[in-house]
Amino acid sequence: MRVLAAMSGGVDSAVAAARAADAGHDVTGVHLALSPSPQQHRLGARGCCTVEDSRDAARAADVIGIPFYVWAMADEFGRDVVDDFVAEYAAGRTPNPCLRCNEKIKFEAVLDRALALGFDAVVTGHHARLSGLELRRSVDLGKDQSYVLAVLRPDQLAHAMFPLGDSTKAEVRLEAARRGLGVAEKPDSHDICFIPDGDTAGFLRKSLGEAPGDIVDAETGEVLGSHEGAYAYTIGQRRGLKLGRPAADGKPRYVLDISPVENTVRVGPAEALDVDEIVGVRPVWTNGVRTEPFECVAQLRAHGQTFPATAIPADDRWVVRLHEPARGVAAGQAVVLYEGDVVVGSATIDAARKAVATPA
């Protein structure tokens, strides 16, 4: 096949491209220039999309022996990922920009362009497996990225290749070294690539401005402190609250609710974070549409704990009833459903609550 390899400049995408070439495919490498300021330097394991990353990708392509190009996609990335990220926080939700990037950039904008140019598939270095059109977890559960790929539709998976899903990260690094790829020991990027210093609150403050408001006790309504912008908080947060006085029981308080309309952050005890019913909207069925309730396993954040659950599909939403409570579930994140290691689908969390017990 004629294959486009998305090369970030890291070790995973380099080895994925090399494996595709070894498999006999006609491979072309492409680096996505997503930053409007690519001259910034990569800060250790933070950030990506810098000039350094582009050069690393070009050198890897040269070692593999494949043609290489850079595609400027900063406008699309800014509109579909960065602006969405800011808007979601402003609305009191906690987005996952990596998931949105896979949905809108790598497997929409890039795949659409690749198919228009005559390519058959896009290959990436994600740690996940494809069995036909079934998206499965990687054998390396610590590096599994099926959660952030669960936004992909079957028609997109039909043109995707994930060559690393049967390997551990350690095996990928050893292979990169054997191949003479200079990125073999390059640190993985993590956190949010467009906030390389890791200061999410500072980034949002520059984008949204200061918006002082109250931090209040969720039970009594008493004002306990103040904030400079409710957007800087997320459900389950404990650190950085700067409350004026401790709770009566001496236990820590956590963020329970964020109200952008009232510009209020409500806090309370840890047990108030427990939920066992989740409403997901804008569902994507990765492995066939379901219309009847079914048993599954739910994952609520990347690399997070999984929960046995019953999923109840209803037109444009799901209700997911967890068999045991989860703590600190934030609207805006994804709920991804699995049967074994197979992804069934994903939805955006709209609400999370403690279900009211039915009277006997």
User: Which CA distances in Å does 284 have to 57, 100, 122, 165, 174?
Assistant: 32, 13, 20, 22, 36
Active-site annotation holder among 48, 49, 101, 296: 101
Residue 10 annotated as binding site = yes
Residue 197 annotated as binding site = no
Q: How far apart are CA 6 and CA 3, in angstroms?
A: 10
Enumerate residues 6+ apart whose C-beta is below 8 A from 330: 93, 94, 234, 235, 236, 349, 352
Active-site annotation holder among 49, 98, 193, 296: 193
* Most distant CA pair in the chain, distance: 70
Residue 13 annotated as binding site = yes
Residue 22 annotated as binding site = no
Residue 182 annotated as binding site = no
Residue 32 annotated as binding site = yes
Establish whether 48 is a catalytic residue: no
Residue 73 annotated as binding site = no
- Look-up of token digits 């510009």: 263
Residue 6 annotated as binding site = yes
Detail the residues annotated as belonging to a binding site for ATP: 6-13, 32, 125
Detail the residues annotated as belonging to a binding site: 6-13, 32, 125
| Catalytic (active-site) positions | 101, 193
